[in-house]
């Protein structure tokens, strides 16, 4: 079972400080349990691992098999929560080079407006058969909509109108939106984004599950890990509950002037999980001019870039380490007769053990340097433990946001740039905004 260890916070947070916040945390935790908090029409993710639609899940597994049979490449078109979760889990479990290691290749596109990136993927498409999973609640979000126009056109040219229909899978709203309508007209196979689950909490819905199942990830184990974490945390409003304890630490840190959290992992393949975490917490808490700035490092790599700042820079940071006790490989350092590099003292040690020692050494160096650290300990780098970790972070985020006093489930600030962009792009309906922008210049 996942553990959240605050042992290294001695000297940074006192028992008194934990006591001071425990009632606030209990209230926030109860609000989430009872559905009485702000944004409670978006807490569908809370019970998802227990109550997800089994019929649809079976169809996801069938479709995943069909995609692997019909294609060598799956394009996943989506932005924000519509791609970060699945890409994060896929890279964590299969590595960043997964597309070069054999099996179905999965490319994520429609998550930027970079023409070069789309062109590169178009070129790669010619090397194999292609299926597309387009993910959008509305169907009108600019980035994925442009990409879907381009890749749908590509499929039609390559496979014909009829052929293209069998290669397009739409994950979208149950009833509304242009993508739902288009799917009905053309007979695309569809999956539902539940109305009460926001994008950043959607990795355990068809949004994440279809691409992951297609890539061969064991989604049963993923869901089962999430469900076990739900069970241990859904009814416990105390600080014994690990997600409550983590929410407490985050809020206490912010109150003591630490405004930046760095989520750290010693596995490079965790990088996109860090991006997923940044959306989860940044979009949930970064509002009303408050919230911890979420940031990530991959160590030991970034010890040789950000390590100096962590050890001795501005005292605004605290660190949260995600640690995996078991990582697959047993690769060891071999001895060299002449010990040319002086590494023979490591001979016979496994590289994972050396990595673990590097992790212990770093955390104690940073603690000694005045940077508070706590540790999320996962037993193993596998599907089950990833499911636990996802649910743990989602629940901690909700409780942390409630404790902070914000609505963790809205994201009104995301609209400002869109309004300006639509105005500057002369989208019908945004004439007044355009006038305002031009007057400012």
Q: Which of residues 65-124 bind a copy of itself (CB under 8 A)?
A: 79-81, 84, 95-97, 99-101, 111-121, 123-124
CB of 9 to a copy of itself, least distance (A): 15
User: 91 or 237: whose CB is closer to a copy of itself?
Assistant: 91
- Give me Rg for the CA atoms of the chain: 23
- CB 346 within 8 Å of CB 331: no
User: 285 or 388: whose CB is closer to a copy of itself?
Assistant: 285
Q: Which of residues 319-338 bind a copy of itself (CB under 8 A)?
A: 327-331, 333-334, 336
Angstrom distance (rounded) from CA 110 to CA 118: 8
- CB 319 within 8 Å of CB 264: yes
The yes-or-no answer on residue 418 being catalytic is yes
The catalytically annotated residue of 283, 383, 388, 394 is 283
Q: Which of 27, 30, 182, 221 binds a copy of itself (CB under 8 A)?
A: 182
Residue 175 binds to a copy of itself (criterion: CB under 8 A)? no
CB of 176 to a copy of itself, least distance (A): 14
CB of 32 to a copy of itself, least distance (A): 20
Residue 405 binds to a copy of itself (criterion: CB under 8 A)? no
**Candidate ranges 57-65, 167-175, 211-219, 359-367; the one touching a copy of itself (CB under 8 A):** 359-367
Structure tokens at 48: 């998802």
CB of 200 to a copy of itself, least distance (A): 8
User: 55 or 185: whose CB is closer to a copy of itself?
Assistant: 185
Q: Rounded to whole angstroms, what are the CA distances from 63 to 69, 109, 316, 394?
A: 10, 20, 47, 27
User: 53 or 311: whose CB is closer to a copy of itself?
Assistant: 311
Dihedral sign from CA coordinates of 408, 413, 415, 417: negative
* Count helices and strands in the chain by DSSP H and E runs: 16, 10
Buried b (16+ CB within 10 A) or exposed e, 365-398: ebbeeebbbbbbbbeebbbbbbbbbbbbbbbbbb
User: 87 or 230: whose CB is closer to a copy of itself?
Assistant: 87
- The secondary element (H helix, E strand) that includes residue 278 is helix 271-285
Residue 358 binds to a copy of itself (criterion: CB under 8 A)? yes
- Paired strand residues for 74: 106, 131
Q: Which of 34, 161, 337, 426 binds a copy of itself (CB under 8 A)?
A: 426
Angstrom distance (rounded) from CA 248 to CA 404: 10
3-state SS, one letter per residue, for 62-117: HHHHHHHHHCCEEEEECCHHHCHHHHHHHHHHHCCCHHHCCCCEEEEECCCCCHHH
Centre a 10 Å sphere on the Cβ of residue 406 and count the other Cβ atoms it contains. 19
CA torsion angle 404 409 415 416 (round to 10): 0
Residue 283 binds to a copy of itself (criterion: CB under 8 A)? yes
The catalytically annotated residue of 162, 418, 431, 435 is 418
Q: Which of residues 144-163 bind a copy of itself (CB under 8 A)?
A: 145-146, 148-150, 153
Q: Which of 91, 173, 285, 382 binds a copy of itself (CB under 8 A)?
A: 285
- The secondary element (H helix, E strand) that includes residue 32 is helix 15-34
**Candidate ranges 48-56, 60-68, 204-212, 311-319; the one touching a copy of itself (CB under 8 A):** 311-319
Residues whose CB falls within 8 Å of the CB of residue 223, separated by 6 or more in sequence, listed in order: 49, 52, 204, 387
Instruction: Build a one-symbol-per-residue string for 9-38: x at contacts with a copy of itself by CB under 8 A, - elsewhere.
Output: ------------------------------
User: 167 or 230: whose CB is closer to a copy of itself?
Assistant: 167
Q: Which of residues 370-389 bind a copy of itself (CB under 8 A)?
A: 381
User: 117 or 129: whose CB is closer to a copy of itself?
Assistant: 117
User: 132 or 223: whose CB is closer to a copy of itself?
Assistant: 132
The catalytically annotated residue of 157, 289, 304, 412 is 304
The yes-or-no answer on residue 388 being catalytic is no
Residue 54 binds to a copy of itself (criterion: CB under 8 A)? no
Q: Which of 15, 416, 432, 439 binds a copy of itself (CB under 8 A)?
A: 416
199, HSE (Cβ side, Cα atoms, 13 Å): 20
**Candidate ranges 32-40, 161-169, 245-253, 296-304; the one touching a copy of itself (CB under 8 A):** 296-304
Angstrom distance (rounded) from CA 206 to CA 14: 43
Three-state DSSP class for residue 317: strand
Angstrom distance (rounded) from CA 270 to CA 322: 9
- Positions annotated as catalytic residues are 283, 304, 418
């Amino acid at each position: 079972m996942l553990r959240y260890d605050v042992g290294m916070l001695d000297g940074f947070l006192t028992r008194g400080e934990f006591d001071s916040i425990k009632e606030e945390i209990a209230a926030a935790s109860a609000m989430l349990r009872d559905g009485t908090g702000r944004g409670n029409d978006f807490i569908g993710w809370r019970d998802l691992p227990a109550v997800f639609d089994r019929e649809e899940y079976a169809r996801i597994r069938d479709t995943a098999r069909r995609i692997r049979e019909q294609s060598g490449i799956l394009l996943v078109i989506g932005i924000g929560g519509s791609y970060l979760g699945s890409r994060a889990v896929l890279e964590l479990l299969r590595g960043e080079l997964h597309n070069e290691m054999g099996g179905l290749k999965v490319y994520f596109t429609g998550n930027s407006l970079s023409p070069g990136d789309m062109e590169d993927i178009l070129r790669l498409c010619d090397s194999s058969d292609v299926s597309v999973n387009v993910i959008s609640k509305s169907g009108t979000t600019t980035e994925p909509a442009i990409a879907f126009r381009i890749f749908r056109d590509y499929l039609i040219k390559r496979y014909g109108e009829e052929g293209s229909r069998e290669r397009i899978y739409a994950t979208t709203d149950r009833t509304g939106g242009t993508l739902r309508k288009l799917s009905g007209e053309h007979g695309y196979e569809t999956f539902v984004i539940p109305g009460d689950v926001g994008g950043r909490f959607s990795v355990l819905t068809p949004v994440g599950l279809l691409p992951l199942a297609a890539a061969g990830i064991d989604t049963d184990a993923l869901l089962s890990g999430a469900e076990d974490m739900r069970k241990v945390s859904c009814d416990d409003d105390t600080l014994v509950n690990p997600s409550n304890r983590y929410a407490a630490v985050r809020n206490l840190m912010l109150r003591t002037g630490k405004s930046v959290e760095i989520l750290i992992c010693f596995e490079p393949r965790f990088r996109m999980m860090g991006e997923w975490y940044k959306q989860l917490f940044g979009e949930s808490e970064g509002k009303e001019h408050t919230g911890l700035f979420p940031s990530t490092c991959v160590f030991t790599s970034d010890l040789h870039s950000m390590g100096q700042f962590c050890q001795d820079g501005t005292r605004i940071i605290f660190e949260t380490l995600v640690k995996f006790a078991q990582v697959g490989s047993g690769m060891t350092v071999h001895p060299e007769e002449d010990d040319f590099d002086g590494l023979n003292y490591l001979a016979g040690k496994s590289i994972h053990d050396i990595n673990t020692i590097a992790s212990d050494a770093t955390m104690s160096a940073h603690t000694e340097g005045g940077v508070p650290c706590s540790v999320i300990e996962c037993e193993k780098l596998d599907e089950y433990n990833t499911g636990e970790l996802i649910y743990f972070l989602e629940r901690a985020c909700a409780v942390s946001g409630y404790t902070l006093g914000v609505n963790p489930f809205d994201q009104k600030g995301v609209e400002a740039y869109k309004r300006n962009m639509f105005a500057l792009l002369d989208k019908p309906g945004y004439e007044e905004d355009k006038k305002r922008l031009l007057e400012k210049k």
